[in-house]
Structure 1
Amino acid sequence: MHLADSLLLLVAGLLALSHGQLHSEHRDQGHGHHPHREAPGTGEGSPSLKISAGNTVFALHFYHLMVSQTPWSNIFFSPLSISAAYAMLSLGAGSHSRTQILEGLGFNLTEVSEPDIHQGFQNLLHTLHLPEDGLEIQMGNALFLSPEVPLCPRFLNDSESFYESKLLRTNFKDPAGTAQLINNHVKEETRGKIVDLVRGLSPDTTMVLVNYIYFKALWEKPFSPSMTIPQDFYVDEVTTVKVPMMMQGPQHHWYLHDRHLPCTVLRMDYKGNATALFILPNRGKMDEVEEVLTPEMLSRWRNLLQNRYFYKKIKLYIPKFTISGSYELDQILPKLGIRDLFSQGADLSGITEQLNLQVSKSFHKAILEVDEVGTQASAATGSFVTFLSRDNQQALWFNRPFLVVVFSTNTQSILFLGKVVNPTKP
């Protein structure tokens, strides 16, 4: 029996809030094949909005699966990074494998067509890459390929046109050198934050697909570093850890105490077209809140938090922390319906007709850093509401496990999703 050649799929995500200035001059590097981009439409009929519902469905399916496997661990990932990588891969898949991929990514193919999906990602990428003061988003794909492997012209053209993919030839007979090349590329594209994504490449690997996303944003209302002090964070009933707790004096913020669910939801805006929801379950109610974490619930919270009634003064206490998530997608995605890719039944003949490709390994790594100035990577912080009787100021303490969802507001897509159980565990 002919063994399938090995395709390694790597997905990297970084969401960061950080001290330094944003370096917008990096934004257009590596995208020379789009020298004169015009602002894409982001209104009601824009292509990216046609895929936002599917992207949200996939994000929450992935999250709930991770919760079921590791209920008391930090969770952090970029659903958009994973979706874009596999949607691009579907361009080279045969009909059954292609349907499996797209349905596994949350798309209802009776409601959104395959051309709409790829045009949606094309529009989404163009929109994310538009320069904005205070916000830097870089997302892209790179295909590492043996020199002797010919690609199908249509796949090469479509992956570049829709997903801004770069093609990089490399000698897989030198696994260590190829791993270094891949890791250096990812390290550069994520500003040095994600390193050693791949190790121990198999010599029979002929192709590696890498997707990365880098997000760096500044809070609209930053915290003062001089007010950050050590405080207790209650991981569970028996575990307490010390964290540097950022504090912000009474300011107006968007937040609500949900009347129907045991949680408080805080909206924190970044400069530019990005915002975050911090979802804080009441004590012992994380499971109850997670059970109703649906696209409809996220939409409900976001709609409510545009009502001026929920724009009120509050003191905020949020940990300064870094967490990360690493996931073996070849073990996870089959449970979400994407099975053929990782078996000898894979049909990737649209990538190259000369090899019988299958995805041997697929990794996703995401890092979140949250500090006083902004976010570098994606974070989730859980907390509860309390009142400080000594000064009658209402205060919101993120001093126990919480969820965080980071949105691109003009594309209505979830960039990062996570749960912070223990902010001292990177």
Structure 2
Amino acid sequence: MHLADRLLLLLAALLALSHGQLPPQHHGEGRTDSSHQQVPGTGEGSPSLRIAPANTDFALRFYHFIASESPKENIFFSPLSISAALAMLSLGACSHSQTQMLEGLGFNLTELSESDIHRGFQHLLHNLNLPSRELAMHVGSALFLNHKLPFLPKFLNETMVFYESKLFHTDFSNTESTTQLINNHVKEETQGKIVDLVDKLSKDTSMVLVNYVYLEALWEKPFVASRTTHRDFYVDESTTVQVPMMVHDEEHHWYLHDRYLPCSVLRMDYKGDATALFILPNQGRMKEVEEVLTPEMLMRWNNLLQKRNFYRKLELRFPKFSISGSYTLHQILPKLGFTDLFSPSANFSGITDQWKLQAPKGFHKATLDVNEVGTQAAAGTGFSVRFLSAQNNHRVLWFNRPFLVVIFSTSTQSILFLGKIVDPTKP
């Protein structure tokens, strides 16, 4: 009879930008074509598009919970990383535990079968990992397995087939060596951006599941670094900080000032298959905008910002910053429907049928860098102001107060990163 052994769920997500490492791509100055080059196999009805609505629903439920717990803090995470890791772990869950995990991820199992879900993630991850001249994206998973544990071949095979997971058999009795192995792997896969993901491992740990998302993206319309100057950013009514503010004076951008909501929305494209929406609430109206942040609202904004009449000349001020987010999933997920996942009642007999496994903890870390040439998880939002003069009537968008950011893969309609920038000076 074995005591409960532990599964550890770790997630690392970031958008990383390296100056000049991606090859240059020339685009016309007056670009009004809102479409991106389609990734092969991502047309209407594709497996990845079938799981996109549930993934978006989970992303926003996770965001709303974090925002309710810490309304005045920066938020940044990768919902894709969390969803993919949980879906992969569900391959080893059985009975009610498996159903609870998939429904917790937002899937309606009467409309989408378990196999459809895993095929959807398989298709999604495959397309996100396709090589590109313009966009460096890498999404992956790794399983670190206790070499003494008799894992079921079906579980190991399916994690590799559907989630392209790498397998490492290791000695968990040597916690220092295993910790170093995991951290070195994550550091390598994220180009050195996430270090020391694992702190201390328990000797009764039997499996560590790691998921990571790395994105290196360049703006289609970069900012000129020499024009960046320090300006005020109004965190709240009593707090003002200085941030480097980037400038676009005479560029065309996709943006709108919502007629029905107190916010402006700016769409900024990256070279390749990625786009960012920046949502800037009017002063003091963040909570009101957050309350209507739904999949339907994101779709509405995105659809509107495909129309040519929203592609207009803009005077843009946008902050340059770096932030990060760190979350303890074993405290968050049970409140989002995953009530069994981290409890002794969880059934992971699909991983091994000889030992009782329990998931004691889960962690997620994400980083975001935004600068003149690109973004890692570009965060930003626009506030539209009419500037009237005798000769001109043009718009000014000034990102000088808290805003929301949504970065997504254009072809798969999947949210890669989601966050809120309250204070860009806090890392």
> TM-score interval w.r.t. the shorter chain?
over 0.9
In structure 2, what is the equivalent of residue 216 of structure 1? 216
- How far does the alpha carbon of each residue in 1:130-152 deviate from its partner, in whole angstroms, 9 at most, with x for none? 12222111011100011111211
Residue of structure 2 equivalent to 1:250 = 250
Does residue 285 in structure 1 map to residue 265 in structure 2? no
Alignment of 1:32-111 (within 5 A): 40-111=40-111
Whichever residue aligns with residue 313 of structure 1, its letter is K
Name the amino acid aligned to 2:201.
L
Residue identity matched to 1:396: L
Residue 133 of structure 2 aligns with which residue? 133
Equivalent residue letter for 1:269? D
Q: CA deviation at 1:3?
A: 3.6
Distance 2:414 2:75 in 1: 19
**How big is each residue's C-alpha offset from its partner over 1:219-273, in whole Å with a ceiling of 9 and x where there is no partner?**
1111111111111100000100010111112111100000000000000001111
TM-score by length of 2: 0.94
- Give the whole-Å Cα distance in 2 for the aligned partners of 1:109 and 1:17: 38
Conserved? CA contact 1:248–1:315, under 8 Å = yes
Cα offset, 1:316, TM superposition = 1.0
- Structure 1, unmatched stretches of 5+, are 25-38
Q: CA deviation at 1:112?
A: 1.3
* In 2: Cα distance, 1:203 partner to 1:111 partner: 41
Alignment-derived partner of residue 33 in structure 1: none
Q: Is the 8 A contact 2:17 2:217 kept in 1?
A: yes
Give the deviation of 1:394 after TM superposition: 2.0
Structure 1 counterpart of 2:65, one-letter code: L
Determine the structure 1 residue equivalent to 2:32: none
Give the secondary-structure state (helix, strand or coil) at the position aligned to 2:302. Answer: helix
TM-score of the superposed pair, with normalisation by structure 1: 0.94
Correspondence for 2:201:
201
Q: How does 1:122-161 map to 2 (within 5 A)?
A: 122-161=122-161
Whether the aligned pair in 2 keeps the contact of 1:341 and 1:359 (CA below 8 Å) is yes
Name the CA shift for 1:40/1:349 in 2 (closer, same or farther; >3 Å): farther
Matched residue SS, 1:183:
helix
Name 1:29's counterpart in structure 2. none
How many pairs are equivalent?
411
CA contact under 8 A between 1:18 and 1:369: conserved in structure 2? no
What is aligned with 1:422?
Answer: 423
For 1:203 and 1:76, how far apart are their aligned partners in 2?
A: 31
RMSD: 1.6
Return the offset for 1:20: 2.9
Q: Which residue of 1 aligns with 2:234?
A: 234
**1:402 partner amino acid:** F
Instruction: Please give the alpha-carbon distance, in whole angstroms, between the structure 2 residues aligned to 1:370 and 1:17.
Output: 8
CA–CA distance in structure 2, aligned partners of residues 387 and 74 of structure 1: 29
Amino acid corresponding to residue 66 of structure 1 in structure 2: I
Alpha carbons 1:232, 1:242 under 8 Å: kept:
yes
Secondary structure class of the residue paired with 1:184: helix
Partner residue, 1:28? none
Asked if the contact 2:2–2:355 (Cα under 8 Å) also holds between the matched residues in 1, the reply is no
CA drift at 1:358: 1.0
- What is the CA-CA distance between 1:387 and the residue it aligns to? 4.6
How far off is 1:379 after superposition? 4.0
What is the CA distance between 1:74 and its match in structure 2?
0.2
1:339, CA displacement in angstroms?
1.7
Give the aligned partner of residue 318 of structure 2.
Answer: 318
Distance 1:371 1:18 in 2: 10
- In the superposition, relative to structure 1, how do residues 389 and 229 fare at CA in structure 2: closer, same or farther (>3 Å)? farther
Residue 380 (structure 1) aligns with: 379
How far off its partner does 1:203 sit? 1.3
Higher alpha-carbon deviation: 385-394 or 80-89: 385-394
SS of the residue aligned with 2:41?
coil
For 1:70, give the aligned amino acid: S
Deviation at 1:384, TM superposition (A): 2.9
1:325/1:367 contact within 8 Å kept: yes
Q: Supply the distance in 1 between the matched residues of 2:385 and 2:239 (Cα, whole angstroms).
A: 20
Native 8 Å contact 1:16 1:374 kept in 2: no
The percent identity for this pair of structures is: 69
Indicate if the aligned counterparts of 1:76 and 1:379 stay in contact, CA closer than 8 A: no
After superposition, residues 300-379 of structure 1 pair within 5 angstroms as 300-376=300-376, 378-379=377-378
For 2:309 and 2:23, locate their aligned partners in 1 and report how far apart those are by CA, in whole Å.
36
